[in-house]
Structure 1
Amino acid sequence: MNLIAPFKGLRPAPGRAAEVIAPPYDVLNSAEARERAAGKPWSFLHVSKPEIDLPVDTDPYSPVVYAKAAENLARTIDAGLLVRDAQPCYYAYRLIMNGHSQTGLVAGASVADYDTNRIRKHEFTRPVKEDDRVRQIDAVNAQTGPVLLAYPDTPEVDAILAAASQAEPALDVTADDGIQHTLWVIDDAAAIAQLTAAFNAMPALYIADGHHRSASASRIAKMRNNQQGSDFFLSVIFPAHQMKIFDYNRVIKDLHGLDPTQFLAAVEEHFALEPSATPVKPDAPGIFGMYMDKQWFKLTLNPELMPNDDPVARLDVSRLARYLIDPILGISDPRRDDRIDFVGGIRGLAGLEKRVDSGEMAVAFSLYATSMQDLMAVADNNDVMPPKSTWFEPKLADGVVSYMLG
């Protein structure tokens, strides 16, 4: 079986994309989605977050929510705002954010290759979130949330995508968050065959974001015996060298019974501690920023603790957990401990200061961003990263292309 396949994409009709495309379903809560979709009857949030069209107290996992998603998708198709291509295609998809540009391929990715780990993972999934996506896909008979994948350096694919993006785009919209989304249809049989062959020659693809979506697609395929197109799942695959990972920072509610003097003394057992007059954004592995009591500190991990051949242990998120958050602050399971929270680097260091200055949190840590090479090394080793190790920007939009099952 092929690693990827073209498909008959469901996408906005000409001139209607601005009314349709929306942020990914999992970056907004229900209240935020309700606000973003206000006055926008065709926003894809009515499909991806359909509880916004039901009473405020509706359980987002209720069967009525998934039925509403199917109803809203059908309504949008019937109104002519979404149109399905007549023939299977690939699509070139470009994202531009703050001068950063990346161009990838929209394709069906093989469930069989996901199941055998040729499409490689680096995170655990939570059953409740998997169950939610399974019910949503099954109800709307489509995969509407793309999985973000990365492919290893392959100049041939880069060149095909660059050539495709010289044509007139089928969609070119700047969303209200300032991110530009541009889509080109690749329907030339020779280009489709060349792309399929180039991906078949790759040793692996890597999940960057979308572990729950890919896991749920695998479950759907088993439920449907790999029929009705369920043997592939919606993906956007970017060259790894173009992808941008932001830092994913930590905030902690208390000092685990220590006073500030005791806490700082404990930190100095493994870190060089230096007060800073300005916010600390780490510029190298092993360096961390720490903010408490309106004071920033630069923490530098002792050099003898740095060398490590283990691809998980050498991540800065692992080092901070091993030498500070676990032994000093008593948080050994960040997945379940409600004393820790995570702040994406897109919110900047001011986002950390705000959480601490409000009194909600006692201390914040800024980290050096995980690299794509680190992510791929973890996945190649069949390992799992600590929770909230990567924050990818720019985000894909929902509604640009959807994958109908059958």
Structure 2
Amino acid sequence: MTKILPFRAVRPQRAKAGLVATKSFEDYTEAEIRSILQYNPYSFLHILNPGYKFQHEITGGQRFQMVKNRYLEFREENSFIKDEKPAYYLYKIVSRETTCCGIIAAASAEDYENNLIKKHEDTIARRETLFKDYLKVVGFNTEPVLLTYPDNSKINEVIDQVMQTRAEYEFATVNREIHYLWKIDQVDLLKQIQEEFEQMPHLYIADGHHRSASSYLLAQESRKANPNHTGKEPYNFFMSYLISESNLNIHEYSRLITDLNGNTKEEFLIQLDEYFRIENHGMEVYKPQQKHHFNMYLDGEFYSLYLRKTNYEFGDSLTKLDPYILYKKVLQPILGIEDLRNDKRISYIHGKNDLIELKTRIDKGEFAVGFGMLPLSIDEIKETADEGLTMPPKSTYIEPKLLNGLTIYEFETN
């Protein structure tokens, strides 16, 4: 039984929502950030980049405190308001390719601890602690964890009903997306949504493993520091975006390697031949059509690699994943890539970007070889999580990617 609660969000005033909302800091170029900070005084980037006010770069704990200061200034100027009653928030994104819709709510850190919220990726302890410390200082979170659940007809009925009403926010972005947000605070609808989630045995993290882990660390630390702990304090929960499995868009990551680990082209192909049937497609772009098929670009030519299943032993769910197969049979033994997360010889391109980018970067000499594969399915992700296993880094690129600043979850840690 999973616990998903409404909460009192801090939100932009309706007229300012489109100006406040931003993509993740990492999704902008430096020039874009400078332009936004210069010309848009309402952008949430002013909070995330607090040193701009003083034209000075600030890092570490001092930055955390100044993020909080900028946030409090937005509150004091009434750019943000806090809802009077707990609510769920229905958030819909319409792009040129897809439409997705989900519910923003507070998920339970205890459910995360008890594996009712399941994960499929490893996290780095240093990053967990850093973000936990950040949350503790600033006192709020604006990036929901992306959680997924099986399609549910009753939740869909509520969503359809709410979308018949006027949205609290409706605005377009420069990348031609339209964003909608509805507030759900009617008692009957709150009860219906909560009861439906309570009947679900598990939820799965689609994106946001470090955010989940950091929120759990904050809950643990705050619990120990509070002699009057009840379990109902805001620090026991973290903001999440709950989206049905059919609304997820799962893409793959291509792998690019800087060199052939001392092998000639011919030596490399011969080693690949032990585990793969290889076909040369020349300049014709090849994309895999089924599982355990890979594309490779090497020395100006595209290749298809078909796994020789008679020479590969499938075991648990992890061994069946294409990112794992590529790592165990190519990247590690032939190309000498041990640490997929930190080795500087490997880079990644998510599958939304065309194979032409992979080809271009290799043709420029930045890399020697590149590999692609089909995206993983939600069933593969769930099976891996159910078995308590973790996928190789950069196994999935999952959308939607939400904007920052539309709903803010405030913690009380003392």
1:280 to 276, 282, 286: 286
- 2:12 pairs with 1:12: yes
- 2:139 pairs with 1:133: no
Return closer, same or farther for 1:293/1:13 CA change in 2, 3 Å cut-off.
same
Alpha-carbon shift at residue 28 of structure 1 (Å): 4.9
Conservation of the 8 A alpha-carbon contact between 1:25 and 1:398: no
**1: CA distance, partners of 2:33 / 2:336:** 35
Q: Which residue of structure 2 aligns with residue 337 of structure 1? A: 343
Conservation of the 8 A alpha-carbon contact between 2:87 and 2:184: yes
1:350 to 352, 356, 367: 356
What SS does the corresponding residue of 2:314 show, helix, strand or coil? coil
Q: Which residue of structure 1 aligns with residue 167 of structure 2? A: 169
Which structure 2 residues correspond to residues 4-403 of structure 1 after superposition, within 5 A?
4-28=4-28, 33-34=33-34, 36-50=36-50, 53=53, 58-59=58-59, 62-225=60-223, 228-276=233-281, 277-305=283-311, 308-403=314-409
Return closer, same or farther for 1:173/1:349 CA change in 2, 3 Å cut-off.
same
Which shifted more, 39-48 or 83-92? 39-48
**2: CA distance, partners of 1:380 / 1:52:** 45
Conservation of the 8 A alpha-carbon contact between 2:2 and 2:203: no
Paired amino acid for 1:262 = E
Which shifted more, 317-326 or 75-84? 75-84
Return closer, same or farther for 1:21/1:284 CA change in 2, 3 Å cut-off.
same
Unaligned runs of 5+ in 2: 224-230
Alpha-carbon shift at residue 309 of structure 1 (Å): 4.7
Alpha-carbon shift at residue 49 of structure 1 (Å): 4.3
**2: CA distance, partners of 1:359 / 1:109:** 46
Paired amino acid for 1:112 = E
**TM-score, scaled relative to structure 1:** 0.94
**2: CA distance, partners of 1:49 / 1:135:** 17
Which shifted more, 155-164 or 209-218? 155-164
Paired amino acid for 1:166 = Q
Alpha-carbon shift at residue 173 of structure 1 (Å): 2.1
Conservation of the 8 A alpha-carbon contact between 1:331 and 1:337: yes
**TM-score, scaled relative to structure 2:** 0.92
Alpha-carbon shift at residue 236 of structure 1 (Å): 0.3
Conservation of the 8 A alpha-carbon contact between 1:2 and 1:196: no
CA RMSD of aligned residues (A): 2.0
Alpha-carbon shift at residue 133 of structure 1 (Å): 1.6
Conservation of the 8 A alpha-carbon contact between 1:25 and 1:45: yes
Paired amino acid for 1:129 = R
Return closer, same or farther for 1:348/1:176 CA change in 2, 3 Å cut-off.
same
Alpha-carbon shift at residue 351 of structure 1 (Å): 2.0
Q: Which residue of structure 1 aligns with residue 226 of structure 2? A: none
Conservation of the 8 A alpha-carbon contact between 1:280 and 1:288: no
**1: CA distance, partners of 2:335 / 2:56:** 38
- 2:13 pairs with 1:3: no
Count of matched residue positions in the alignment of Structure 1 and Structure 2:
404
Paired amino acid for 2:21 = I
Taking only the aligned residue pairs, the percentage that are identical comes to 32
What SS does the corresponding residue of 2:213 show, helix, strand or coil? helix
**2: CA distance, partners of 1:255 / 1:54:** 47
**2: CA distance, partners of 1:32 / 1:266:** 45
**2: CA distance, partners of 1:176 / 1:182:** 15
**1: CA distance, partners of 2:92 / 2:76:** 28
Alpha-carbon shift at residue 196 of structure 1 (Å): 0.5
**2: CA distance, partners of 1:50 / 1:210:** 24
Return closer, same or farther for 1:351/1:55 CA change in 2, 3 Å cut-off.
farther
**1: CA distance, partners of 2:208 / 2:30:** 19
Conservation of the 8 A alpha-carbon contact between 2:2 and 2:199: no
Which shifted more, 105-114 or 280-289? 280-289
Conservation of the 8 A alpha-carbon contact between 2:293 and 2:307: yes
**2: CA distance, partners of 1:203 / 1:306:** 34
Q: What CA deviation, in whole Å up to 9, does each residue of 1:349-402 have, x standing for no partner? A: 122123212212111111110111111111111111110111012311111111
Which shifted more, 293-302 or 49-58? 49-58
Q: What CA deviation, in whole Å up to 9, does each residue of 1:98-139 have, x standing for no partner? A: 231111110000110011110011111112322332122122
Q: What CA deviation, in whole Å up to 9, does each residue of 1:168-205 have, x standing for no partner? A: 11112222233322111111100000110100000101
Alpha-carbon shift at residue 223 of structure 1 (Å): 2.0
Which shifted more, 43-52 or 146-155? 43-52
